[in-house]
Structure 1
Amino acid sequence: MKKIIPLLLLLIGFTSCKSSSSVVTESNKSTSNSKKIISNLIRTAESNLGVKYKYAGTTKAGFYCSGLVFTTFQSESINLPRSSFEQSKIGKVIPREEAQKGDLIFFKTNGSQKINHVGLITEIEKDDIKFIHSSTSKGVIISSITEAYYKKSFEQINRIIN
């Protein structure tokens, strides 16, 4: 019975005491784990800076925008759909002002009527959002939402990891 009660408390979200001076909650563990995953995702994506663009590419031989995001999340055992349009349906759409590192940012580029480009947010600076993505002209780069091209084609931000 002594083993069952702590397990039940853990499952229903109560805190557990590790020592008299530190209380660890499931939400704290979750937040800490989420920050680690996000840090790993950004590091993985950034390890591909400079890799050339390749339509439908998912390797260092060349990345497509959604291929970069797909492969990056796969490195943390998170399975996402393969296309940017399908990726835009995953997670929770959040207001731009609530964007955080690790969120996905989506665009409708070149006059498209549906989402056709995705990036991974790497940094937030006041009103600026920086994101890593694979561009057709420069390959894997970090861009800013303040750049005219991305400012006018911005569509939404999705939170995948809470």
Structure 2
Amino acid sequence: MNKLHLLISILFLLSLVNCKSSKRAKNKKASTNKVITKTSTEKEGDGIYNSSSKSENEFSKANEIVKFAKQFKGVRYKWGGTTKAGMDCSGLVYESFRVNNIYLPRISGDMAKKGQKITLKKVQEGDLLFFKTKNRRNAINHVGLVIKSSNKTLEFIHATSSKGVIISKLSEVYWHKSFVEARRVL
């Protein structure tokens, strides 16, 4: 009986060790800056483009994402919201990309780890702008989707707690001071 008990204990301990190692592998894989797309025929790394100009396909994808996001203009703010009943900033971006088979993290701080960081001079429609508004943690806590980029104007759609889903300009003092970085995920 003691040998059977010892054998069962050893098997149990081995199963615990195996679970722990596979969990580490999952976490390590999840920390990449790659954007997940739903198309199964793509090679690893597709979905992120490391150039400052977009191809025609990328522009059309950006147009579709922006078009979807604009449907929510005027929707009230709701923390954690992802529908016309209420929307928050990361929910707006998350849903706009998800509908186009591009899967981003749900939280703005995590979104800011995806794609490629770009300069404001290279920002185009469909890129993301990240902000640190007045919060205690001094961390990225707001995201907006670029809907218009020209030499003089940079407009983005986002959800604010006071006005809901609106379009703003980066040249507005509040947003200019809170701006941290721009990123391209297309």
Q: TM-score, normalised by structure 1?
A: 0.79
Secondary structure of the 2:143 match is strand
1:121 aligns with 2:155: no
**CA distance in structure 1 between the partners assigned to 2:125 and 2:58 by the alignment:** 11
Any unmatched runs of 5+ in structure 2?
1-42, 44-53
Query: What does 1:85-100 align with in structure 2 at a 5 Å threshold?
Result: 85-100=109-124
Query: What is the aligned residue count?
Result: 133
SS in 2 for 1:115: coil
Does 2:63 align with 1:39? yes
Alignment-derived partner of residue 160 in structure 2:
135
Write out aligned runs for 1:1-162 (5 A): 31-111=55-135, 112-161=137-186
Q: Aligned letter for 1:63? A: M
Question: What TM-score, normalized to structure 2?
Answer: 0.69
Find the aligned partners of 2:140 and 2:123 in 1 and give their Cα distance: 18
Q: What is the RMSD of the two structures over their aligned residues, measured on CA atoms? A: 1.5
* Per-residue Cα deviation, 1:40-73 (whole angstroms, up to 9, x for no partner): 0010000110011000111111111000000000
User: Whose strand proportion is higher, 1 or 2?
Assistant: 1
Give the % identical residues. 42
What is the Cα deviation at residue 127 of structure 1?
Answer: 3.7
In structure 2, distance between residues paired with 1:60 and 1:110 = 27
Whole-Å separation in 2 of the counterparts to 1:123 and 1:32: 17
